[in-house]
Amino acid sequence: MCTRAVPCMFAGTCMTVCDFAAEANVAEGNGDAGGEGDVAKLLERQTLEDKEREDGEEGKPSSSAGPVSCLQHDETWSCLRISHLTTNESNAKGQTDPPSIPICELYPSGDFPKGEECEYPPSKDGRSAAWRTTSEEKRALDGANEEMWNDFRQAAEAHRQVRAYVRSWIKPGMTMIDICEKLEDCSRRLIKENGLKAGLAFPTGCSINHCAAHYTPNAGDPTVLRYDDVCKIDFGTHINGRIIDCAFTVTFNPKFDGLLEAVRDATNTGIKFAGIDVRLCDVGETIQEVMESYEVEIDGKTYQVKPIRNLNGHSIGQYRIHSGKTVPIVKGGEATRMEEGDVYAIETFGSTGRGAVHDDMECSHYMKNFNVGHVPIRLPRAKHLLNVINENFGTLAFCRRWLDRLGESKYLMALKNLCDLGIIDPYPPLCDIKGSYTAQYEHTILLRPTYKEVVSRGEDY
């Protein structure tokens, strides 16, 4: 979910050149130049490993090709897939098709796959941050928070498997309600929904074309996905309030490929430059530079891809999707610095329109104000509705479909009353000019003491 650069709005590869063929290069580099004997041994070992991988493919989770590890050396970056034989993944049960086994049951040891681990970028004076990976102090701090990191990883693995499942069946002609409900049903199963301990972090965004964010269908919405639509799929999972906020864009017409490439590149640039002590405004400036370097041709007209200047990435807190810091996608933002231990949603939006969004269409997203104190409520139905919200969502975002699912009815007046009192904040859809197209990519990153972990990274993006 995005944060808007005005009050009361929601607040590939680490831009590294991720070459999965690097695995073979590293294998070659590990051997000494010892002649044909070493080469024969290497080929024999690779053959055995390939056979083991093929034999185990059927029993691996659907995300087995997901997380990767990213290491920086000097000015070059290389990415290596994490070997599933070096973690408890070798003991994991096989996922079903469609996915139905909760992630916690796929990994019974509770040790979930890591995301993409990257060394922090060098400082402006050229000093490397590689010392963090070997510092005993930083490793101890990292280990002290392992339980928290693991909650993020469990939620991220659920996200990877759900979005892979969604990509397998989403197609033109489906209603947006069917798409969202099918996605959310799978997500609830894999996260093993359990009250406020585990579940969906916010409603499934499926904003189309000029609508950039915060659209999910309300009951009775007849909207159908079409071949020429640009649809942003933005959904979240959480374990113990540790939220994964991750999004991608779905298109069917290849004429939009350039737009998607521009936004994906910009997001990966933001991820690459993010790090401890990095100024948020500097991240925004680099994102804008990359985004605006793209020109795309759609239906015979050429557009410079514009970053949507009043949408931002954001820091994430426990049970708090937007915890105070914003990550701009244009230059001129705040000089606030990222800090060790921070968690961020790095997301960018590109548009062929004005590059700015405004409130439009019927509201579906709502969220309890995180800082609200006691507010007297006179309307009995509003009191009841607030109790339902507190019990089922707490300070996580929700939508009207989810209230319907809980059996609530005739609640719109009560919901309006809670909004008028400032207890609940509405988040209406955010749209650029009609006729324009918008795209989005987003990942959640952990600024661990040792590494920057792109925890939601998968082989898809």
């991720």: which residue's tokens? 18
Identify whether 347 is a catalytic site residue. Answer: yes
**Is 146 known to sit in a ligand binding site?**
no
Catalytic residue among 117, 157, 282, 347: 347
Catalytic residue among 84, 314, 365, 443: 314
* Exposure on the CB side of residue 361, measured as CA atoms within 13 A: 24
Identify whether 245 is a catalytic site residue. Answer: yes
**Is 210 known to sit in a ligand binding site?**
no
Catalytic residue among 117, 151, 184, 234: 234
**Is 84 known to sit in a ligand binding site?**
no
162: number of Cβ within 10 Å: 27
Catalytic residue among 184, 342, 442, 453: 442
**Is 238 known to sit in a ligand binding site?**
no
Number of helical H runs and strand E runs in the chain? 12, 21
**Is 142 known to sit in a ligand binding site?**
no
Cβ pair 31, 42 in contact under 8 A: yes
Identify whether 89 is a catalytic site residue. Answer: no
Catalytic residue among 89, 119, 229, 245: 245
Catalytic residue among 322, 425, 443, 453: 322
Identify whether 322 is a catalytic site residue. Answer: yes
How far, in Å, CA of 136 to CA of 159, rounded? 32
81: number of Cβ within 10 Å: 17
- In sequence order, the 6+-apart residues with CB closer than 8 A to the CB of 120 are 129, 132, 275, 276, 451, 452
Distances (CA, A) of 261 to 248, 256, 293, 351: 11, 9, 11, 12
**Among 421, 426, 419, 391, residue whose Cα is nearest residue 406:** 391
Identify whether 442 is a catalytic site residue. Answer: yes
- In sequence order, the 6+-apart residues with CB closer than 8 A to the CB of 426 are 363, 365, 366, 419
**Among 303, 327, 338, 242, residue whose Cα is nearest residue 4:** 327
**Is 159 known to sit in a ligand binding site?**
no
How far, in Å, CA of 291 to CA of 340, rounded? 27
Q: Which long-range contacts (CB under 8 A, 24 or more apart) does 176-179 make?
A: 176/206, 176/208, 176/216, 176/217, 176/221, 176/223, 176/224, 176/225, 177/217, 177/219, 177/221, 177/401, 179/204, 179/206, 179/225
Cβ pair 206, 215 in contact under 8 A: yes
Give the residue ranges of DSSP H helices in 16-145: 22-29, 36-56, 103-106, 131-134, 136-144
* Kind plus residue range of the DSSP H or E element containing 190: helix 176-191
**Is 214 known to sit in a ligand binding site?**
yes
Which residues sit in the known binding site for substrate? 214, 322
Active site residues: 234, 245, 314, 322, 347, 442
Which residues sit in the known binding site? 214, 234, 245, 314, 322, 347, 442
Which residues sit in the known binding site for a divalent metal cation? 234, 245, 314, 347, 442
